[in-house]
Amino acid sequence: MRLTIYIKDWVVSHPNPDSYREGGVRRLRSRGVVCQHPKEPSLQVPSRDFLFKPSKFLALTIVLLLLVTLKLMAGNTIPDTITVNTVTVTAMNHTRELPFSFHVVDSSLIASERSSDIGRLLQYSSPVIVKRYGTDGLSSLSLRGMSGTHTSVIWNGIEINAPLNGQTDFTLLPVFAVDKIQINSGGANLSGISGTIGGALVFSSDEMAVDGIALKCFTGGGNYGKNNAGVSFSAGNVKVESTTKLWFRNAENNFPFVNENAPGGPETLRRVNASSHMRGAMQDVSVSGQRQHFSAHLWFSDANRQLPSAVNTVQQDLGEKQQDMSIRAVLNYRYIGEKVKTEVITGYINELNIYDYQLAGVHGNNRSETYTLRSSFRLPTTDRFRFTLYIGDELQKATSLSFVKTHLRNMLSASAVSDFNLNERLLLQAQVRDIAVSGEKSVPEVTVGASFKTDRTGADILKANFSRNVKYPSLNDLYWSPGGNTGLKPEVSTGAEIAFSHSGERKKTVYSDYSVALFDARVNDLIQWAPGSFSFWEAQNLKSVNNGGVEVSATTFYNPGSARLKIMTSYALTRSVITGSDVANDASVGGQLIYTPYHVINAVVTGEYGIFRLQSSLLFNSKRYTVSDDSEYLKGYMVSDVSAGAVLKSKNTTFNIDISVDNLFSAAYESTKGYPMPLRTFMIDLLLTLNPKSYK
């Protein structure tokens, strides 16, 4: 008899010997029970996840109790005594019930884009705005109309934004390096050390995800000199696990494009000085006990890129190039008791950026180190009321050829989060945070929010929040010589959000998950570099901006028999309007921020039948203004990709082959003005997995 039980979003069923890991399926080898999570597994919301990730032991206990109950009801005889350990079942809020919006990137997309960078993956899979300087140039990500400096990027609990410019280059983040990606829109979550206004991207590594030994090897190649390869070796059991990853990615990027503004008329050229060579390594170790969990993560990355010139009337080969090297390390300890939960995270990041422009005699040498220590304590309270205290410290150290000296900055933060379940449906939450930044006056932050389950199953959740967030200037804004301004005030955002989330019924053949969020925020003291008193530019708090819009995401699953169809779509409407300026005669007031499209639409359709797989992707960006007074713009563009593949399996081996065509209709477009993107490109990817059943 097939037994199917629902526990919130978890489907528990008897084992299917023919089942294999796919998407969010996890396999528990204890007591022959398979737990299948058809949605994406709960992600590591930094410092919050451990509060909401269901304990495996607890889930198993509940399963056993229910099995016993159902057996009794069926009139079957079972052993009349089953001894189990005493278990306290505590109602814990699922991540969905948190009163702010988030979007989880589908794990199948992460798997299929393993040879790409995270910027490209997110562009197709989420309501974010990605701006790229060509194929492998700087890629920055914008949430809710703000810039890349307003987006926090968190990896296994520590922020990895470069302290110098406050940004993260997503071209340098390979998809292969992460296992889970969650996007937290807006700055309502105050559990981190430092603030964010646009939102946060949370990357994390799988932990305790392997039972046995497994090996993955992939390689791929395409036109314009693209080639890549990687290997992941994992070994683990119920107590300890280790995963080692190595990868590289190269491309010449000498693709053809049409220069419409060539002096002699439109001409077809090949992109020059655009090659990239990236490599990396990662080591993850996890040790898990009944109540304690320890993990260590180490990430090395090295990238050498040529920087192609902007193409206006001519393409110049200026010989610009750049090297980016980084080492990131995290240690994480968690203790989950019956009443008390605590987590301690410590991290270290060392980054090097070397820029060379020989023709101009311009060189850059930028180095930074970041030391992070974070801790959280969930204090013993009642079942309906929870109080968590977060304390964190981040020490930033940076040196640059454009700094007069090495600069240090310390950010010490303390935040408190209280959750109160008024009843089983209504959750109220309040957060406060204060950050003490060396040499700065602190600006307290606050979030108040609520979520309401409109039905008892929790399938539909209505949520709302109001928040006030702070973003401190980057070290370049403060200390760049000339022009850095130590008198800069932090940027402050005040806003609100209302959202609705629906989770479809898994047992149906067709079901959908969708969410809608409306947001509005006012940002004051926005930092802009503008001509100063002398003959150079200075960083100043010049403008105020109003960001408002709508974000919609929907995923539809259709599982008729052995076929599977998944349709993932998202849409973002963003109005980022400059509402005030300290610049005289500023015509930008009332206009849209540059490079913020009004509309972003993406869709991914994935179909599987037997061993075959077909995927089609679509991305649309509406026009983007390129001058602050909205006097010029880049026209909107639509790009379509398609890939077809097959999965061949033997007893202990899985072999995937995929052929993909990007920009199927050869659309000529630019993400950043003057940086043409490739027309149609091809790629073949091969993936060999040994012992795939070891993956839970």
List interacting residues with other proteins (CB under 8 A).
Answer: 260-264, 310-314, 316, 359-361, 482, 530-531, 533-537, 583-588, 626-629, 631-632, 673-674
Nearer to other proteins, 553 or 672 (CB): 672
Q: Could you tell me which of 339, 334, 336, 410 has the C-alpha nearest to residue 375?
A: 334
Nearer to other proteins, 137 or 187 (CB): 137
Cβ(72)–Cβ(78) under 8 Å?
yes
C-alpha dihedral sign at 16, 21, 25, 31: positive
Nearer to other proteins, 260 or 505 (CB): 260
Cα torsion through 458, 464, 470, 473, rounded to 10: 70
Nearer to other proteins, 628 or 681 (CB): 628
**Main-chain phi, psi angles of 96, to 5 degrees:** -60, -30
Cβ 471 to other proteins shortest distance, Å: 21
| 139 strand-pairing partners | 132
- Cα–Cα distance for residue pair 139/171, rounded to 1 Å: 5
Nearer to other proteins, 54 or 636 (CB): 636
Nearer to other proteins, 165 or 232 (CB): 165
Nearer to other proteins, 258 or 614 (CB): 258
Cβ 578 to other proteins shortest distance, Å: 11
Cβ 324 to other proteins shortest distance, Å: 20
3-class DSSP assignment, residue 39: coil
Cβ 303 to other proteins shortest distance, Å: 22
- Cα–Cα distance for residue pair 412/418, rounded to 1 Å: 20
Cβ 594 to other proteins shortest distance, Å: 9
Q: Where are the alpha helices (DSSP H) in 366-422?
A: none
Nearer to other proteins, 76 or 313 (CB): 313
Which distant-in-sequence residues (6+ apart) come within 8 Å of 332 by Cβ? 156, 157, 293, 294, 295, 296, 297, 343, 344, 345
- Cα–Cα distance for residue pair 198/154, rounded to 1 Å: 14
Q: Could you tell me which of 551, 430, 463 has the C-alpha nearest to residue 185?
A: 551
Cβ 359 to other proteins shortest distance, Å: 6
Cβ 630 to other proteins shortest distance, Å: 9
- Cα–Cα distance for residue pair 590/575, rounded to 1 Å: 11
Cβ 309 to other proteins shortest distance, Å: 8
Cβ 363 to other proteins shortest distance, Å: 13
Q: Could you tell me which of 387, 261, 305 has the C-alpha nearest to residue 138?
A: 305
For strand 267-270 and strand 256-259, is the pairing parallel, antiparallel, or unpaired?
A: antiparallel
Nearer to other proteins, 88 or 585 (CB): 585
Cβ(418)–Cβ(387) under 8 Å?
yes
Nearer to other proteins, 277 or 673 (CB): 673
Cβ 364 to other proteins shortest distance, Å: 16
Question: Helix and strand tally (H, E) in the chain?
Answer: 5, 39
- Cα–Cα distance for residue pair 696/686, rounded to 1 Å: 22
Nearer to other proteins, 16 or 631 (CB): 631
- Cα–Cα distance for residue pair 601/572, rounded to 1 Å: 7
Which distant-in-sequence residues (6+ apart) come within 8 Å of 578 by Cβ? 543, 544, 545, 588, 589, 590, 591, 593, 628
Nearer to other proteins, 35 or 311 (CB): 311
Cβ 133 to other proteins shortest distance, Å: 9
Cβ 627 to other proteins shortest distance, Å: 6
Cis, peptide link before residue 308, omega less than 30° from 0: no
